[in-house]
Amino acid sequence: MTCPAPVHIPTKDLFRLDGRTIFVSGGAGALGTTVGKAILESGGDVLFSDMSLPNVDTWREIEKTSTANRTKAFYYQLNATEADHFPKSFDTIRNMLRFPLRGLVACAGISGECDACDYPVDVFRKIVDVNLMGTFLIARAVAKEMHTANVTGSMVLVASMSGWVANKGINTAPYNASKSAIHQLTRSLAAEWGHPQNTFPGRTPGDANPNPDEERKPYPPIRVNSLSPGHIETPITDAAKQRGLQEHWEKQNMLGRISQPEEYRAPTLFLLAEGSSFMTGADLRVDGGHCAW
């Protein structure tokens, strides 16, 4: 199943998201709240989701933004790694929304610094579980909603420049590995959900295919891209500032500073909206030139 190229959309509307709902995981964090507000300003409703409740003042600003733009902001508390809760949660979410889910920004993620030889196994597994498995579970759940509604969609999986390079001077092996995995997850989901011809007919029987003879249904295409930020100044970086790491990070990119959450608004809107209609399976690296030295 293919969809025609959106050639008749006026240039001024290429970043618009009217008539659709975008799911933002990690929606209580600095990046999630910032890009979520940008989506509201661009005509889309936003379902913010996170393990923790949003800051009261921040949520008040989000509601002001949605009111000013005649859009809707919703919040749903969800642990992205608890797959058993997803069916019931999405039954509730579906009934909250005005418009079908047609987009995802997967921001939820954690990190932790430790030398590899000393890295606690349970902490390593948690980072991979949240960053990789949590992203996959959210993407799968949102894709199922798009399939049920028979609509096209676009997903932005937040990876990192750390998926391309090892971070100089700071030992974060599981974080780096999980973000590199997001790049490959992006390509794999983009291939699978882009067009039925991308998958060979039939299925090999096995634990993952209990019903190998079940026929696949064709669905409208879902584009999947990743966004790889560079270092971002957020409340989480306060400890790095105290150690003097920010000064080192600023010297490691071509612009001589670290980024602000607001600088990811336009890249995210571009990937979600029709401005990137022929872009899928790609990574948009926004790192101040860090990886281009």
Cβ(144)–Cβ(214) below 8 Å: no
- 76 belongs to the catalytic site: no
Compute the Cα dihedral for 185, 209, 150, 106 and give only its sign.
Answer: negative
Question: Six-digit token pair at 191?
Answer: 């291939």
Question: Six-digit token pair at 220?
Answer: 């409208």
Helix ranges (H only) for the chain are: 30-41, 56-69, 86-96, 121-128, 134-149, 173-194, 238-242, 245-251, 265-272
Question: Six-digit token pair at 88?
Answer: 């019931």
Nearest in space to 107 (alpha carbons), one of 272, 293, 249: 272
Provide the β-strand partners of residue 229: 286
Cβ(203)–Cβ(193) below 8 Å: no
Separation CA 36–CA 28 (nearest Å): 10
- The amino acid sitting at 284 is L
Candidates 37, 72, 179, 264; catalytic one: 179
Candidates 37, 72, 75, 175; catalytic one: 175
- 217 belongs to the catalytic site: no
Separation CA 90–CA 86 (nearest Å): 6
Q: φ and ψ at 37, to 5 degrees?
A: -65, -40
Separation CA 55–CA 27 (nearest Å): 11
Provide the β-strand partners of residue 227: 158, 284
For residue 287, give the DSSP letter: S
Catalytic annotation, residues:
175, 179
